[in-house]
Every structure is written in C-alpha cells, then in structure tokens.
Structure 1
Amino acid sequence: MAAGVKFLDWYGDGSVHVVDIGLACCTLEFESASADLVARSEPPASGAVLIVVSGTVTDALMPAVRDLVTGVTASVPSTPLVVSFGACTSAGGPYWDSYSVTKGIDQFLDVAWYVPGCPPPPGALHEVCDAVRRGDHDQLSAGVRS
C-alpha cells in the first residue's frame, strides 16, 4: 500500500473506515466532514471501508488513483466501496470539456456511491457513511476496471 494512506474510523467503533484520495477543492469539504476524526495508518481488521475520491481526476493522474485504490483494496479484509465525491470526480465537473480531464472515475473504477455537488456538502458524506453502517448500500465492489 502507498505511504501516507490514512484510515479514519468514522464512528470510533470500527464499523466504517474511510480513506480519502483528495485531489482538489472537494477535499476541503471532506476535511470539514471528518475534522474530528483520528487518522490511522494501519488498515482496519474489520468493518466496512469506503474509499472517497474527491476532486478533479486528470487522465495523467488516473493510473495513480487506480494504484491507490488497488493498494487499499489489497490491504483490507473486506472489499471497499468507492465513493465519487463531487461533480469533478463524478463527471469532470466544470472542466468536463478539457481534453485532459477524466469524465468520471467510473471509467476505471466501480463506483458504489455518487455524491453530487460543486462543492458537495459535508453532510452528504455523513449520509453515505450512515447508509453503509446500516447496511443500506449497493453491493458493488471497489474493483479496478480493466
């Protein structure tokens, strides 16, 4: 797994762990939602894992994002769920017509949740975590598309 990956125990009880792959301005909204959480560098032994990709993904950056998701997936016991956090991550956002912007991470990752917005509200991420904790979520894997 890549150095610097941090797992946030969202509720402090080991039920939901969140990893942020922060790339641009939506990362600030993620940080606002997770401000009081303690980051750990060790992968969790149990519980659901969410990988939140936030910000604009460029075609040049796509392999690095894919490698991070693959590394996290290999390091945890359960298959993580990928969350596309914000308009840029979901569909390219206001940069959709740029030749270098990936038109959504679902082109190379299986996405379980889309959180819309520019920026998405921090509360929306709490809602996703709440749904995962309740078991009310898609059973999509965070697998990397070939």
Structure 2
Amino acid sequence: MVRILLKILKTGLLTEPRPPLSPDAPGPFLAVGGSLAIRHVDAGSCNACELELHALNGSYYAPERDGLRFVASPRHADLLLVTGPVTRPMEQPLRDTHEAMASPKTVLAVGDCACHGGVFRGSPAVHNGVDGLFPGARKVPGCPPSPSAILQALRGLSRSDPAKPPSRA
C-alpha cells in the first residue's frame, strides 16, 4: 500500500488543466440564465469519442458548472450531439431523434467520423457524417477530439447566436 501511495505522489497529475472561462464572457449559458440540454446519439462510432464525452462529463471538467447537461429524451434537448459516421441503419433513428426535439434545435457533430465520415468515408455502409442529413451542423474535428475542444465548442454555441440554443431556465 505504501509503495502505491509513493508512486502516486511521485507521478503527480497527468491530466490537462480545465479550460478557463474568458473574462469578458463569464459563462455562455449561465449568462442568459439557462442551461443547454444535450441529447447524445452514437451513430456507429468506435467509441473513442464517447470516452472523451465521459471524461468531459466527469468532475474534472464539471459541465454542470457551465449549464451543460446530458438528457435521455430528445423532447428535453436543445442540442443533438452526434458521434460516428452515421451508418445506414442509424439514418432514420437519427432523423427521428432530431424531429422529436423542440425548435429551435442545433446539431453538433463530434469527431472526424461525424463531421465527414473519417476513416469510413466512401464506404457503402455509412452516410459520411451528418452533413447530408442536417446541413449547417456545427463540427468539432478530431479523432477523437479532446474534452476541452468539445467543451469549447459547446461554450461557443451560444456566443455565436444567442437564439441558438434556447435558454431553458
């Protein structure tokens, strides 16, 4: 037991620091008095992006501090977060999820696969990302993108257009 504790003390922290909020914008969602409800759909990914989303949702990044929360129902969601290259069997469920969301709604593609198909691009089994299904979807490139990149993209959603995503206080 002592050996393990000494190794922990010797190794130190190996995580990246949490991105600070900019001083001119104390918090994009809290500034408008609401929160952002996110519905995540895995449309056929390798789960690397999901691992980063799990890391983002932990206590280190604490997304609730920024008003971000993941919800189970698309009816409660403001944002549809998609990972994976959108396999052919997932096209219709993805459209149904988007249709079940209240307007206005935003789509965020996370990872190279969701953005443009990634390594699966051109395969007859995939749709090559969300572009064909939801034109104008916002993107977070990377294979996989870091939790801090995803967090910065989520923070930036309301800065670019205050009406999107809506405030749900």
Q: TM-score, normalised by structure 1?
A: 0.69
3-state SS of 2:135 partner: coil
3-state SS of 2:142 partner: coil
Question: What is aligned with 2:56?
Answer: 33
Question: What is aligned with 1:90?
Answer: 115
Is the alpha carbon distance of 1:83 and 1:110 closer, same or farther for their aligned partners in structure 2, counting shifts above 3 Å? Answer: same
Task: Report the aligned-residue RMSD.
Answer: 3.0
Aligned residue among 111, 116, 120 for 2:141: 116
Deviation at 1:40, TM superposition (A): 4.6
Q: Report if the CA contact (8 A) 2:130-2:137 is conserved.
A: no
Deviation at 1:122, TM superposition (A): 1.3
Uncovered stretches (5+) of structure 1, i.e. residues with no partner: 1-9, 142-146
5 Å-filtered alignment, 1:129-140, equals 129-134=154-159, 136-137=160-161
Question: What is aligned with 2:90?
Answer: 61
3-state SS of 2:87 partner: coil
Is the alpha carbon distance of 1:91 and 1:35 closer, same or farther for their aligned partners in structure 2, counting shifts above 3 Å? Answer: same
Uncovered stretches (5+) of structure 2, i.e. residues with no partner: 1-27
5 Å-filtered alignment, 1:41-56, equals 41=72, 43-44=75-76, 49-56=78-85
Deviation string, structure 1 residues 15-46 (Cα, Å, up to 9, x no partner): 322211124212221222123456555755xx
Is residue 127 from structure 1 mapped to residue 147 from structure 2 by the alignment? no
Question: What is aligned with 2:41?
Answer: 21
Matches of 1:138 and 1:94, distance apart in 2: 35
Q: Report if the CA contact (8 A) 1:90-1:104 is conserved.
A: yes
Q: Report if the CA contact (8 A) 1:112-1:139 is conserved.
A: no
- AA aligned to 2:56 is A
Q: Report if the CA contact (8 A) 2:80-2:105 is conserved.
A: yes
Deviation at 1:137, TM superposition (A): 4.3
Matches of 2:136 and 2:57, distance apart in 1: 21
Question: What is aligned with 2:15?
Answer: none
